[in-house]
Amino acid sequence: MPEYLHRSFNVSDPDLVSLYDEVSLWSSMFGMVFLDHIPLKPNLNVLDIGFGSGFPLLELAQRLGDSCRVYGIDLWQAAIRRVIKKIEFWDIPNVNIIESDGSAMPFKDNTFDLIVSNLGINNFENPQQVFKECKRVAKPGTQIALTTNLTDHMKEFYTVFAHTLREMNRPEMLEKLNTHINHRSNVEAVCAMMEQVGFRVAKIHRQSFNMRFLNGSSLFRHRFIQLAFLNGWKQVVSPGDETEVFTKLEDNLNRLAEEKGELKLTIPMAYIQSTG
């Protein structure tokens, strides 16, 4: 029986949050592209939406320096406490942390010169409303910059998942899988949402990277996969069928890895920068 199917996480658990930085490789891959492209200017009021455990919020604040003021908003209370400890320990005085929802920000109109979000759009329940709020709190000419992962994310995994469901004659689960795959956005859709509220897209940088695993068994037992992706995959499978489906899926992934010498998953991403 795949033991990973029975593991769960409480994101409000302080112990989990204290260790969460160990899995930030995911956000750092996007964040490093973000830091390569973000405009750096003096005397900026900056807003970071959905800063999580603090990357790249604190890195950006330090790279900008004391002439700039950086505000971070997030709803993850346990992570907010963690980030405040980092700010105090590392003595980063130009950061303000606020517990707030991006769809209803506690800021006046025309407040910010730069608005950023690293992978935040992936977690917005209503991204269009967040972009409306960004436009409201942005000064004229403000730049908004974000990173996001895209459709075709982990396409090698999803190809094997779909093959497994067809092999097991589970058309209803295959339909759920297609819905799950298609929930991710693409560059055109993100740009359209930004333009609808009055931002003009000025720069798009597309890039991809690989996540490499020895095989499917190591994939399913990786702590970040369990924390960030496994629940979504389990929701595709009908209750009571999880053990059978995931055992078969793991076997098929292991077979592919044996043929290829590894299990390599492609992660497409984009950096999008717009001007208000």
Name residue, tokens 């977690």.
Answer: 123
pLDDT in tens, 116-135: 999 887 778 889 999 999 99
Rounded to an integer, the average pLDDT of 37-62 is: 94
Q: pTM (2 decimals)?
A: 0.86
Measure the CA–CA gap between 89 and 261, rounded to whole angstroms: 44
**Distances, alpha carbon 138 to alpha carbons 45, 106, 229, in Å:** 10, 13, 33
The whole domain housing 99 covers 3-275
Domains contained in the chain, number: 1
Measure the CA–CA gap between 37 and 145, rounded to whole angstroms: 9
pLDDT in tens, 144-198: 999 998 888 999 999 999 999 999 999 999 999 999 998 888 899 999 999 999 9
Residue 50's CATH number: 3.40.50.150
